[in-house]
A and B are shown apart, each in its own frame.
Chain A
Amino acid sequence: MAWTSELQALASRNPFIDKIINQGYDVGFVNAHLVIFGVPYLNASGELKYLDMICPLDLREGYSIDRPSDHKVYFAGEIPCNIDGQKICTGTAEEARTVSDQIVGNRMLSSKPEGMRQYDSIEEKINQYLALISSPAIHKYPGVTPRRALKKHLESAMSPLKFPDALSAREGVVELSHKLRQHKVAIIGCGGTGAYVLDYLAKTHLEEIHLFDDDIVHVHTLFRLPGVYGEQHLGLPKVEVLADSYVNFHGGIKPHVERVDQNNMGCLARFDFVFVCVDDAPSRQMIAQACHGASVPFVDVGMGLNKGANGLYGFVRTAGGDHGDFDKLNGTQYLPAQNAQDRDYRNQPQIAELNALNAAIAVIRFKQHMGFFDRLASSHAVVFDVAEITMDVAT
């Protein structure tokens, strides 16, 4: 529905109206009626139908909505039913209700709140009717939603995101967020750091996010993933577990249960940016070299922690981010090309908050490259010192 100045005034005076608009309901305010367009319901044969729910408003001065004086709503269509084909528990009668030339109801529904009392508020009334009318359809047909505006928005936005980017709109950074559109990135290695990189990227407009890892989820993995995963994920490929979980937010996540090596290295040239989140130094060197050869910018992440008498200390390293960084990093301590010689007999701990920090710095560097964030430094590596809480940059 068009965002009229009247609806705007109504929403600004009544938090509930503002709330349902923000939740993606297609709301109209027409001739003192509230209309919620496109509410799904089941008819007596169990078919999916949609109605526009008309609710008269008791308005006070300045668009404030009073407690509803009656308990009826109106619509045009068939009698809404439950999944068993019985009509929903409301009184219903044929009763015309004209809101405007385009919006005319032919049927009335009447349902009182529990205790057969008057509704306390418009919120209670609308929520009760939305639940009564649409729950059976939502239950029977997966993917059906009463939030038509959300659906319309997504169809018109051409975004892989499953929600309208209300955050960027709210913060006034839409044009910056859109800079990530139509770009394809890869996360190579989906351990703790790679998983957190996905967590941040899944909330952006990137067209495709490819995940590469041939490892499975172990119990210790559960402690280093963002969000909560459990027993049902143990033994499954990490990339599939992550993709299944994040597909609810971003439609462009592509899992590949494979390790990136000499055989499939060629695929890196397809990406606009690569996140190298591996724990094997020869692989890191090979992938960084391949990205460089294909002129694909990359960031490489890694940490090292030691246990001392006073707890863990060490460094969280984020290298690269721009074209040409490989030449500055190659052969230095900022792009370890050989595994530490002591790895065989010593565990190098990793802790989730440092995985998250490493991933966050990597994503910031990527977004600087994309022009989302400003960039003053020309460093090719950033080292966070855990014990000292400082960041050093290598230039």
Chain B
Amino acid sequence: MPEIKNVTISVNTIDRVVPHQKISYATLIGMAFPNATGANYIVKYYKGNSDNLTGTLPPGGEVMVKDGMDFRITGTGES
């Protein structure tokens, strides 16, 4: 059983060291905003894996991380 390596990703422009595996919507919004739960945030990622460079991660979804991957997360309730 090989040990899982760590990679550095950027979550809302802050570097985070995470295991090199899939990361969930819930984990990401919790990193971006303390105590954030639910399905109220839009999560987009950039510089992902070559077969999935960029996209939107839906609530309940997960995506494989890559070193240098960039996540941007905000609510969209202001008008």
**B-contacting residues of A (Cβ < 8 Å)?**
189, 191-194, 277-281, 284, 301-306, 308-310, 313-317, 331-334, 336-342, 348, 350, 355, 358, 383, 385, 387-388, 392, 394
Cα–Cα distance between A284 and B13 once the two chains are bound (Å): 29
Check if A340 sits within 8 Å of B40, measured CB to CB. Answer: yes
7 tightest A-B CB contacts, nearest first: A304-B74, A340-B75, A308-B13, A317-B76, A193-B79, A336-B40, A302-B76
A306 contacts across to B, CB distance below 8 A? 12-13, 72, 74
Which of B1-9, B16-24, B31-39 lies on the face that meets chain A?
B31-39
Contact A331 B39 (CB under 8 A): yes
Beta-carbon contact of A304 and B77 below 8 Å: yes
Q: Which residues from B are CB-within-8-Å of A313?
A: 13, 72
Compute how far the CA of A305 lies from the CA of B37 in the bound complex, rounded to whole angstroms. Answer: 18
Within 8 A of A (CB), among B26-68: 33-44, 46, 56, 58-59
A336-B40, A337-B40, A341-B37 given; A308·B76 CB < 8 A: no
Contacts A192-B79, A277-B79, A332-B59; A314 near B74 (Cβ below 8 A): yes
The CA of A101 and the CA of B74, in the complex, are separated in Å by 75
For the A-B complex with A284-B77, A317-B76 known, give 17 more contacts whose Cβ atoms are closer than 8 Å: A192-B79, A278-B79, A281-B77, A303-B76, A308-B12, A315-B44, A315-B72, A332-B39, A333-B40, A333-B42, A333-B76, A336-B75, A340-B41, A358-B79, A385-B72, A388-B46, A392-B44
- How distant is the Cα of A284 from the Cα of B77 in the complex, in angstroms? 9
In the complex the two chains form, is A189's CB within 8 Å of B42's CB? no
Q: Please, could you name 12 A-B residue pairs with CB atoms under 8 Å apart, sorted by A?
A: A302-B75, A308-B12, A315-B76, A332-B39, A332-B59, A336-B76, A338-B38, A339-B77, A340-B77, A342-B35, A350-B78, A394-B56
Q: From A279, A309, A315, A332, give the contact of B58 (CB < 8 A).
A: A332
Chain A residues in 8 Å Cβ range of B39: 331-333, 337
